[in-house]
């Protein structure tokens, strides 16, 4: 698939601020431990299994001006990308780890990070390469009303990480510290409230998500060794992770 829309348009029940618990369920090395990053990197990653990261996420209403007509049918909410990235990074790398966000659009996100204990700063660029989403609706027997059910979103981004100097400037030499493509596929299922009265619109105060994240190496024209490592992957991901996420509405809808 390619860039099928200008942004991911989420169903309207996503709108609002959520408390998110993301639990790592599995970590795999399809190309072997060496290409994952070595024994120590792999073992450290495995320690994350069954641990959780807690953060906030925000989705805001959109006017539905996406050029893709199907997206308007999918709902009217988009992710607040800057807010969400800041919240995740703060919890994963430290409260003061986000130094600056210079660009936050659906197709490119750029930020300057100073992770706790890293001893240096990094500039991270994330460029969207592919995007698609679909929504399924459930129709109750004998009813003409549809109830939004599973929502699937997939996005591929190119992640470029540069070492920086103390002023946050990128190095002058060619090449990046890390260059990967990451595909994230998320399956969302809303949990409808059972407390609504007959005839009232059912509300969603919880969303459950199954997520798969796969990282792929890219060929390097400047580093012959990295080029050989990329060839060894044969198009397979080097790092695949599965997560269970639970979104809980911070201010439950009445």
- Amino acid 226: pLDDT: 83
Cα 208 to Cα 211: distance, rounded to the nearest angstrom: 10
Cα 82 to Cα 108: distance, rounded to the nearest angstrom: 11
What does the CA dihedral 118, 238, 56, 192 come to, rounded to 10 degrees?
-170
Q: Which residue is associated with the tokens 């953060």?
A: 55
- Amino acid 167: pLDDT: 56
Give the Å distances, CA to CA, from 176 to 109, 135, 151, 201: 16, 37, 35, 51
Tokens at residue 200, please? 């009232």
Cα 230 to Cα 125: distance, rounded to the nearest angstrom: 21
pLDDT along the chain (254 residues), means of 10: 93 94 98 95 97 97 58 69 97 95 96 91 95 75 58 96 68 60 97 68 90 93 84 95 97 65
Q: Residue 239, Cβ neighbours under 10 Å: how many?
A: 22
> Residue 200 burial by CB count (10 A; 0-12/13-18/19+): exposed, middle or buried?
exposed
- Amino acid 174: pLDDT: 41
Going by C-alpha positions, the residue among 108, 114, 104, 192 that lies closest to residue 149 is: 192
CB 14 within 8 A of CB 75: yes
Cα 87 to Cα 57: distance, rounded to the nearest angstrom: 7
Cα 195 to Cα 116: distance, rounded to the nearest angstrom: 44
- Amino acid 146: pLDDT: 57
- Amino acid 126: pLDDT: 96
- Amino acid 62: pLDDT: 82
Going by C-alpha positions, the residue among 166, 171, 178, 168 that lies closest to residue 112 is: 168
Tokens at residue 162, please? 């540069």
- Amino acid 173: pLDDT: 45
Give the Å distances, CA to CA, from 118 to 5, 90, 94, 121, 215: 37, 14, 11, 8, 22
Cα 77 to Cα 142: distance, rounded to the nearest angstrom: 29
CB 14 within 8 A of CB 58: no
Sequence-distant (6+) residues with CB within 8 A of 198 are none
């Amino acid at each position: 698939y390619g860039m099928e829309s200008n942004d991911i348009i989420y169903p309207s029940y996503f709108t609002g601020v959520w408390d998110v618990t993301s639990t790592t369920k599995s970590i795999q090395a399809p190309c072997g431990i060496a290409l994952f990053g070595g024994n120590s990197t792999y073992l450290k990653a495995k320690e994350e299994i069954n641990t959780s990261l807690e953060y906030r996420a925000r989705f805001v209403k959109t006017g539905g001006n996406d050029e893709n007509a199907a997206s308007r049918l999918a709902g009217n909410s988009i992710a607040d990308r800057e807010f969400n990235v800041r919240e995740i990074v703060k919890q994963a790398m430290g409260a003061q780890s986000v130094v600056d966000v210079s660009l936050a659009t659906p197709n490119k996100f750029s930020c300057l990070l100073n992770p706790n204990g890293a001893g240096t700063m990094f500039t991270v660029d994330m460029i969207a390469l592919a995007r698609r989403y679909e929504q399924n609706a459930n129709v109750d027997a004998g009813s003409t009303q549809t109830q939004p059910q599973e929502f699937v979103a997939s996005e591929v981004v190119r992640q470029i990480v540069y070492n920086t100097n103390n002023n946050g400037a990128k190095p002058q030499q060619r090449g990046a510290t890390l260059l990967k493509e990451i595909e994230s596929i998320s399956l969302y299922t809303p949990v409808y409230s059972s407390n609504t009265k007959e005839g009232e619109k059912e509300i969603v105060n919880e969303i459950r998500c199954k997520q798969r994240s796969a990282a792929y190496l890219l060929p390097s024209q400047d580093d012959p060794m990295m080029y050989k490592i990329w060839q060894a992957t044969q198009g397979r991901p080097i790092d695949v992770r599965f997560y269970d996420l639970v979104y809980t509405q911070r201010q439950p809808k009445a």
